[in-house]
Chain A
């Protein structure tokens, strides 16, 4: 008998798989973005099932509410031909299939050899935010203030770069 968490996990996982396939096979670019939204929502759902609600909300906020909105916005503002029908050559097709299979085998191998995540994370217990916050801006062992700050400098550089590119030259 499955537990409720397992059933929820399998439903969400199935949704993720179906929508990721749909996202790359559909003809319309906006539909593709919408399917991607569902994939990201599903990922957020998996984080929530694991009890990592903070990351789940970040996923919703940054990816679903930020990145996808940005995608849709730029699709609306640019003129896109409604359908994208490309003919794929056979050589390309075979190489794509091969790459996918190799990637899948690699992931399967890693999953099979490392039995991680199963017994480490307590299911259905929420991770307190204080712990995450202290881990992000602490200076002791297993605390990550330096990567956190370096990341923020990187983001600042990206923002300045975007403004430099976007501004009108006089």
Chain B
């Protein structure tokens, strides 16, 4: 139908041309490095955009203006200036701490984040890591991040960081269950774990419409659990400022702290991106049955714009939650997960299976 934005022929053409002028292994290596650099650059650029957005959204919710001095009236250069500042800061190593683990922890967090980031479906033929278990790999890779948080908390050799790390560990391990089960619900609906095929399944209607009741419930559960997974308010007790200074990254400085900060914002984006992939059609345009002209116009908008647009919409939803609700206590957080969210998501899973078997979904 709308194949003019398919990236695959272009990429295959580049690969063939490169293989023509150099041996295949060299072509693979150069392509790998190019894609790696592309991921890093996208990662940094998106982080800057997200931080700016967070500050503006936060300001709007608190009836403030937000950054407005650096770089014109919008304060557009505020975040790049912050980035340059943090790059020049000294990285402090603590006495009597385990220096190896202390230095390793931020990289574990950012590695998990980048691995999941490269699984997002940007466009038709535009997925970087493509395998037929895609969505399962995303869940698996994101579970490494919690290790970085635990190690950071322990190796900083401080009470604040240790308490922050243990809290966040307990929370993330619990909420991974709900995320996993709600993802599984959508895998049952689509009948595949391949991310591109999940998106392709939604060609004639997004999953949230196709799966109606259970899909909407799974979407809400996913958003709540995803918010917890990204360590954001109302689940930000890993770094509850009033109690723990800054939680598990209290003792970090310079770019090591920057990595945690980056990963936090990109995890927000990844959570939203996976939500868009599973529920809101990925890079598929919005179609309304019966309006042929409208559908044709929507088809002319490239998939990458649809994907990024929808993702930023979900990011806005998550920021809305963050700046509206007060922080929960650790026992309330765990009760919410184990007594309400997890049984509910299991129930949704069963409902979805029954509906799929009896053909009650579209």
Taking Cβ atoms with an 8 Å cutoff, the residues of A that contact B are 3-4, 28, 30-31, 34, 37, 53-54, 56-58, 60-61, 64-66, 68-69, 72-73, 75-77, 126, 128-129
Contacts and interface: CB of A to CB of B under 8 A. Distances in A.
B166 A57 contact: no
Contacts of A3: 25
Interface of B: 25, 28, 98, 100-101, 104, 131-133, 136-137, 139-141, 143-144, 146-147, 150-151, 153-155, 162, 165-166, 169, 173, 176, 193
Contacts of B136: 54, 57, 61
A128 B133 CA distance: 8
Contact of B104 (A34, A76, A128): A34
B144 A129 contact: no
23 contacts: A30-B151, A30-B155, A31-B98, A31-B101, A34-B104, A34-B151, A53-B131, A53-B133, A54-B133, A61-B143, A64-B140, A65-B140, A65-B144, A69-B147, A72-B147, A72-B169, A73-B150, A73-B169, A76-B153, A76-B154, A128-B132, A129-B132, A129-B193
A46 to B, nearest CB: 15
Contacts of A61: 136, 139-140, 143
B151 A72 contact: yes
Contacts of A60: 137, 140-141, 143-144
Contacts of B155: 30
With most chain B CB atoms within 10 A of its CB, the pick from A58, A61, A129 is A61
Contact of A64 (B101, B131, B143): B143
Contacts of B141: 60
A68 B108 CA distance: 13
Given A4-B28, A57-B139, 17 more contacts: A30-B98, A30-B151, A30-B154, A31-B101, A53-B133, A58-B140, A60-B137, A60-B143, A60-B144, A64-B143, A64-B144, A65-B144, A65-B146, A69-B173, A76-B169, A126-B131, A129-B193
Given A28-B98, A60-B141, A129-B193, A69 B25 contact: no
Contacts of A58: 140
Contacts of B131: 53, 126
Contact of A76 (B28, B165, B193): B165
Nearest to B32: A4
A131 to B, nearest CB: 10
Contacts of B140: 57-58, 60-61, 64-65
Contacts of B144: 60, 64-65
Contacts of B173: 69, 73
Contacts of B139: 57, 61
B32 to A, nearest CB: 10
With most chain B CB atoms within 10 A of its CB, the pick from A28, A60, A66, A75 is A60
Given A69-B150, A73-B169, A57 B133 contact: yes
Contact of B169 (A37, A54, A69): A69
A42 to B, nearest CB: 13
With most chain B CB atoms within 10 A of its CB, the pick from A53, A65, A129 is A65
Nearest to B131: A53
